[in-house]
Amino acid sequence: MVKQTSHQEKQKPPTRLGSAHRLEIMRLLGVLNWQGRVLVDIGGYDGTISDAMTGYAHRLIVDPFLPARLQGSSAKAGLVRGVGQALPIRPGSADTVLLLDVLEHVEEPQPVLAEALRVLKAGGRCIVTVPSTHIQVFPPWLQGWVNKRWDHTIRSGYTVKELMGLITAPEIEVREVLQLGSPLFRFLYFPLSLCWRIAPGLGWKLLRVVERSDLRRRAVGADRGYLYCELKKEDSSS
């Protein structure tokens, strides 16, 4: 079931189509309305997602390619240049940790995920998204070029089994795993990319329509889209 959200977008269009794609998924699933004290966004780049999650007192953005000028209010957040293997915060500090389309880019994904879960407090939640192993845009014969464009040179993505295999901590509960086929987004990826460059405002409006349709039809092409996983840390003392 699609979760309704009252969050109203006040930002200008994100600089990248991929960031907007992830933002709209988070919006439709209600994640942008989550609240807490500390949010950690690993792979947050320009702060598109964390800017939209306004219900947190402190935010930490971690990315190896932090832009010189972050958009929106991201400049007020803590910034760390890195891949997330050594976060400068105490264990059990974060209410929410985001790992959005990160694990497919790193040589050793398990230490990155383990570090994300280390800083998560009891009762906190971690959102992990990755492309599926057999992700496919249209036309299919261009997927190899797209993988290079997306920097999917280490791996194209994960199966559900592979992703679950990275979670080894006994105190971590898998709350939800969604296979998001994103059929319309994948089919229209090239036209959307072109529109995004020419008229970002229009591209964003079209993307919102696409994402709403895709979430209703997420089973279509489920093994060729994306995986969304919500993890929760249990209280080990109970």
pLDDT value, residue 156: 93
Burial of 54: CB neighbours in 10 Å, binned 0-12, 13-18, 19+: middle
In whole angstroms, give the CA distance from residue 99 to residue 4.
22
Helix (H) or strand (E) holding 210: helix 200-216
In whole angstroms, give the CA distance from residue 126 to residue 95.
8
In whole angstroms, give the CA distance from residue 46 to residue 53.
14
Average pLDDT for runs of 10 along the chain of length 238: 42 85 96 96 91 92 79 64 86 96 94 94 97 96 93 94 94 96 97 95 95 95 96 79
pTM of the model: 0.90
pLDDT value, residue 116: 95
Question: What would the two tokens of residue 211 be?
Answer: 């994402």
Domains recognised in the chain with CATH numbers? 17-232 (3.40.50.150)
pLDDT value, residue 7: 43
